[in-house]
Amino acid sequence: MRDWERLRPLLAQLLRFGLVGLFSTLIYDAVYWPLATYVVDPLVAVLAGFAVAVSIGYPLHSRWSFRNHGTRDASGRTTVRFVTVQLGGLAFNGACTWILTGPLLHGPTWWPLLPATFVTPILTFAVNRQWAFA
């Protein structure tokens, strides 16, 4: 029973992060895919999708997903760390987009949505929990 009591806050936090992350991911997807398919180069669409998703995700994650976890200071350290983590996610999504839609594979614009939806959120949760909101 003690193990469950220790894991319960982490599982609740993971659930909250998952809900906010799902919402942010859907926002990213909704911005990225139409832009990449019909308007601009897919790498430009990655930037636009991330800008919108991060501007929505930070307040939700800091106030809800990671509430009661770590400390919040007035220096903006948490914000800088969150943005740094998101820039790592941006780099990962950009690399996946370039590989999947660019000169290597010439794939359709929806292919990069797979790693963006299923890999990036897991990576950013781990780093946000251990570093940005620690």
Q: Domain count of the chain?
A: 1
- 3-state secondary structure (DSSP) of residue 134: coil
Cα distances (angstroms) measured from residue 76 to each of 45, 71, 129, 130: 28, 11, 17, 17
In the prediction, which pLDDT does 58 show? Answer: 77
Sequence-ordered list of residues with C-beta below 8 angstroms from that of 8, at least 6 positions apart, any chain: none
Q: Structural domain of residue 85, as residue ranges?
A: 2-132
How far is residue 34's CA from residue 28's CA, in Å, rounded to a whole number?
Answer: 11
In the prediction, which pLDDT does 9 show? Answer: 75
Could you tell me the maximum CA-CA distance found in the chain, to the nearest angstrom? 54
Of the chain, the percentage scoring pLDDT greater than 70 comes to 90
Check: CB of residue 89 under 8 Å from CB of residue 123. yes
Series of mean pLDDT values for 10-residue runs along the chain (134 residues): 73 82 90 97 96 86 66 69 90 97 95 93 85 78
In the prediction, which pLDDT does 113 show? Answer: 95
Determine how many CB atoms are found less than 10 A away from the CB of residue 43.
16
pTM metric for this prediction: 0.79
In the prediction, which pLDDT does 37 show? Answer: 97
In the prediction, which pLDDT does 96 show? Answer: 97
How far is residue 21's CA from residue 25's CA, in Å, rounded to a whole number?
Answer: 6
In the prediction, which pLDDT does 90 show? Answer: 94
In the prediction, which pLDDT does 49 show? Answer: 96
